[in-house]
Amino acid sequence: KNSNLVLDVSGANISNNTNIQVHERNGTNAQKFKLVQVDVDLAISYHQQNQSERKSENTLIK
């Protein structure tokens, strides 16, 4: 058991069908997300900060 491993959005990509991987914890935005249900599918919802603007991105996963 390695408690330093977390789920990570590959390359912090926001495109649909992006891979999720197991990666060592590093605290980047690629590891700060939640899964939300969209109809019968799941999506990754996470925030990215762009200077003074904060926005939410939803990425569909299948």
Domain span at residue 14 reads: 5-61
Structural contact between residues 45 and 58, judged by C-beta atoms closer than 8 angstroms: yes
pLDDT, one tens digit per residue, over 6-49 is 999 888 888 888 888 999 999 998 898 888 888 887 777 765 55
pTM exceeds cut of 0.75: no
Higher pLDDT, 8 or 1: 8
CA distance 17 to 1: 28
What's the domain count of the chain?
Answer: 1
The residue with tokens 């330093």 is 4
| Cα–Cα–Cα angle for 36, 20, 10, rounded to 5 degrees | 115
